[in-house]
Amino acid sequence: MTSQTATPTTAVAAVPSSSALPRPLIVAGAAAQLAALGVVGPIAFTILITLLGVGVGLLPVLGIGLILLLGFVYALYGLAWLETARVDGLYALGLPGLRPRTRTTPGFGGFLRVIWHQFIDPSMWRAVASIAIATILGMVVLPLISVFASGIVLVFAPLFAGAGPLPLGVTGIAVPVGWAVVVGLLAAIVALAAIVGLAILHGVITRALLVPTREAQYAEQARTSDVRRAGAIRASEVERTRIERDLHDGVQPRLVSVGMTLGLAQQKIDDDPAAAKELLAEAHTSTKAAITELRQLARGIHASVLDDRGLDAALSALAGRSHIPVHLDVRLDTRCDRNAEAAVYFAIAESLTNAAKHSRATGCRVLVRRREDGALWARVEDDGIGGARVIAGGGLDGITNRVLAAGGTVRLDSPQGGPTSLEVSVPCAS
């Protein structure tokens, strides 16, 4: 399958926000999660190390080694994704969710390249470092919990214990019954203070690892702005070229023909009125055809119904004019930003045009949704022969640049033999 992806890494700055939970509950939650990671974390890292070691060892056996190393990379990604979600859910930092890298070039080389890019993804490794540190802290918290529980038991030991000494948790220290209350109270206080301190330390470390610095946020915003500006410039160039081509190849020759036909009619109007009348009728027909082409060209530049009645109505009109049957499924509860709607409309219109002209499709399916993250998402799928490629100056290039300019993403899947599917996602407030 050929997968073309154009994704501007959208600058979603992680802005720390105050959690709805009180501070003591956050610390308690952090301590509980550290304790759980002290049990689960070593198991997860043992599996990862095993995958890496066996994969490297079996690398000469190309198929098995690569499969295990592929599992290692995506197990790392899954662990990093869970850690990001855990930390964001606990501290409400507003962290963007991790997204897997997608293929940008076809073939086995493109597959290996996307795996490598996933492996060296800095955000993934920061999350892995965070969960590794949390696991180590959790392995320290577990015996401290044991000491705290034993301290509480020692405080009440005189009520039920005999004359023999009592153990203090996992420390192996035997405490005489006469000292049980004092030692138990001190042990419980020290263990509890250590647990709280480790929980607070965990919060500091995770913020340092996962929350980007202000300079990094500004740099990412500047880079994303450059990507969007380049996409907007490229989209305008592609659109201008398309308009010039349509005018030069369509309307201009027809208007030249109308002028020549009127000239011939003017020459014959005195000598052969009947022939002149036929020529005038021909010029009239050509003029109406030119007006229709101009109207279609203007509609391709901007659909007025999009502003007046919204994306649903504009797409319904577009499907009605399509040369192939279109199954339209639009579910939008509210309207989006004008630029976002225009970008999605243009992507769908160009996709339907490509399907009718090049894919030999007998039908198309169009889905449009408003996603929970506020993005306007659309998918166009046809049953044609596939093999679509992004070519400079082509329709797919225009879609890509226009969506990039709106801050969105494009994904094209078009294997040889079909089907072809195009997905676009644009922030509603682009």
Pair 360, 385: CB distance under 8 Å: yes
* Window from 3-17, 44-58, 59-73, 273-287 with minimum mean pLDDT: 3-17
What are the φ/ψ torsions at residue 421 (nearest 5 degrees)? -130, 140
Percent of the chain's residues with pLDDT above 70 = 73
CA 124 – CA 212 distance, rounded (Å): 13
Q: Is residue 239 pLDDT above 70, yes or no?
A: no
Q: Is 203 helix (H, G, I), strand (E, B) or coil?
A: helix
Dist CA 2 CA 4 (whole Å): 7
pLDDT value, residue 18: 43
Residue range 23-51: average pLDDT? 90
pLDDT at 39: 92
Domain architecture of the chain: domains with CATH:
17-210 (no CATH), 231-427 (3.30.565.10)
Angle between helices 23-57 and 180-210 (to 10 degrees): 70
State the DSSP H helix or E strand holding residue 104, giving kind and residue range, or none if neither: none
State the burial class of residue 358 (Cβ atoms within 10 Å of its Cβ: 0-12, 13-18, 19+). Answer: middle
* CA–CA separation, 62 and 108 (whole Å): 14
- Under the banding of pLDDT at 50, 70 and 90, the label for residue 305 is low
- Predicted TM-score (pTM) of the model is 0.54
C-alpha span between 129 and 125 (Å, rounded): 6
Residue 244 has pLDDT above 60, yes or no: yes
pLDDT for the residue 278: 79
Q: What is the mean pLDDT of residues 93-110?
A: 72
What pLDDT score was predicted for residue 49?
A: 92
pLDDT in tens, 102-149: 766 666 777 778 888 888 888 889 999 999 999 999 999 999 988 888
> 154 falls in which pLDDT band (50, 70, 90)?
confident
The answer on pLDDT for 34 being more than 80 is yes
* Helices 273-301 & 214-246 angle (0-180, nearest 10): 170
Sort residue 418 into left (φ over 0), alpha (ψ -120 to 50) or beta.
Answer: left
Q: What is the pLDDT of residue 7?
A: 37
247 to 13, 225, 241: CA distances (angstroms)? 44, 33, 10
Backbone angles phi, psi at 364, to 5 degrees: -135, 155
* Cβ atoms of residues 315 and 342 within 8 Å: no
Which carries the bigger pLDDT value, residue 24 or residue 134? 134
Candidates 80, 43, 26, 42; CA nearest to 202 is 26
Q: State percent of the chain over pLDDT 90.
A: 13
Q: What is the mean pLDDT of residues 72-96?
A: 87
Pair 366, 379: CB distance under 8 Å: yes
What tokens were used for 353?
Answer: 């045009």
Q: What is the pLDDT of residue 13?
A: 38
Instruction: Report pLDDT for 293.
Output: 64
* pLDDT at residue 234 is higher than 80: no
The residue that leads in pLDDT, 301 or 40, is 40
Q: Does 92 score more than 60 pLDDT?
A: yes
Quick one: which H or E segment has residue 364?
strand 364-370
DSSP letter at 103 equals -
Q: Are 384 and 391 in contact (CB under 8 A)?
A: no
Identify the three-state secondary structure at position 131: helix
What's the pLDDT score for residue 139? 93
Tell whether the model's pLDDT for residue 24 goes beyond 70.
yes
How confident is the model over 209-228, as a mean pLDDT? Answer: 60
Mean pLDDT value of segment 347-375: 83
Alpha-carbon gap, residue 210 to 16, rounded angstroms? 11
* 227, HSE (Cβ side, Cα atoms, 13 Å): 19
Other CB atoms within 10 A of residue 318 CB = 22
